[in-house]
Amino acid sequence: MERGKERNTVASERESKRLQKARSFDRKALGAIYDDFHQPIYSYIYRRVGDVEVARDLTADVFRRFLQAIHNKTGPNQNLRAWLYRVAHNIVVDHYRRRQNQQHYPLEENIICVGDDPIQAAELNLKTEKVRAALLCLTPDQQQVVALKFLEGMSNKEVAEITGKPVGAVKSLQHRALASLQRQLVQAGEEVPA
């Protein structure tokens, strides 16, 4: 247990030094950060959007924002991972909002639900897409908790750090998100055991 704490402390100090160099636009430090976090962030986004090119673009947006934040002296001082996941989540939400506006969807998030649109659901063609579409019917917070916990395999504590919410709130969000997903999948014709 203590060894784990020491490990976390060492990692935290190392990340802090790396961030300090990154704020000075140290090219090497920034490259290392990109290499460390590009794949997790890309995966997180891809699982949310299901498209490689979109995921690449959105991932590139995440790191562009990171550079801009450092440039403006407003970047993260610690826990860069949590900061990047939060930015990624916001970018995904913005992405779906832009798509919603482009397709003249109603503003209410739950109505964006793909399950309500059989044509779009047919386009998904796959069960995965049904689930991803059902996931979009959740609130952004629920989507974030579900994605981080069930897709990224994070613990409640890690989810709490990224979302900035208490662990109890994360559990509650998880409960409501799964119940809502169940309903959406049922509505989408997915077989859910009673």
Partner 1 sequence: MTTRISDDQLDLAVSRLLHGDSPANILDSFPAEAADLRPILHVATTLETLRPVETPAVESLVSDRNDFLAQVTELQLQPVSPTPIVRLKDWISQQLSRSSSTSTPQQKEIRKMSALILKAALILVFAFGSLGGTLAAAADSLPDSAVYPLKLAMEQARLTFSNDPGEQAKMHLAFAQERTQEMVRLAAKGEVPEEALLTRMQTHMRTAYQLAAQAGEEQMQGLLTQARKMTQASGQDLEAAQEQVQERAQDRLQQASGMMFRWQQEAEAGLQDPGSFRWRFGPGGPCDAGDCEPPFGDGDQQQHQHGPGGPPCEGEECEPPYGDGDREQHQHGPGGPPCEGEDCEPPGDGKQQQNQYQHGPGAPPCQGEDCEPPGDGNQEQHQYGPGGPSCEGEDCEPPYGDGDQQQNQYQHGPGAPPCQGEDCEPPGDGKQQQNQYQHGPGAPPCEGEDCEPPGDGNQEQNQNQNTEQNQGQGDTQNQNQEQNGQGSNGQQSGGSVDSGGTDNTGGSDDSGGADDSGGSDNSGGSENSGGSNDSGGSGSSSGSGGGNGRG
Closest CA to 92 of 45, 142, 50: 45
Rounded least distance, CB 144 to partner 1, Å: 14
Residue 121's contacts (CB-CB under 8 Å, 6 or more residues apart) are 114, 115, 129, 130, 133, 188
Of 153 and 164, which has the nearer Cβ to partner 1? 153
Shortest distance in whole angstroms from residue 80 CB to partner 1 = 15
Query: At closest approach, how far in Å is the CB of 63 from partner 1?
Result: 5
In degrees to the nearest 10, what's the CA dihedral of 114, 117, 119, 123? 0
At 97, give phi and psi (nearest 5°). Answer: -65, -40
96 scored as a contact of partner 1 (CB under 8 A) = no
Answer for which of 24, 78, 101, 103 binds partner 1 (CB under 8 A) is 24
- CA 36, 39, 42, 45 dihedral sign is negative
The residue from 2, 4, 35, 106 that contacts partner 1 (CB under 8 A) is 35
Query: Of 32, 99, 120, 150, which one interacts with partner 1 (CB under 8 A)?
Result: 150
**Using the rule CB under 8 A, is 56 a contact of partner 1?**
yes
Contact call for residue 116 and partner 1 (CB under 8 A): no
* Closest distance to partner 1 from the beta carbon of 38 (Å): 7
2 burial via Cβ count (<10 Å: 0-12, 13-18, 19+): exposed
DSSP track, 74-105: -S-SS-HHHHHHHHHHHHHHHHHHHHHHHTT-
Query: Rule CB under 8 A: which residues touch partner 1?
Result: 21, 24-27, 30-31, 34-35, 38-39, 42-43, 46-47, 50, 52-53, 55-56, 59-60, 63-64, 67-68, 70-74, 127-128, 131-132, 135, 146, 149-151, 153, 156, 168, 171-172, 174-176, 178-179, 181-183, 185, 190, 192-194
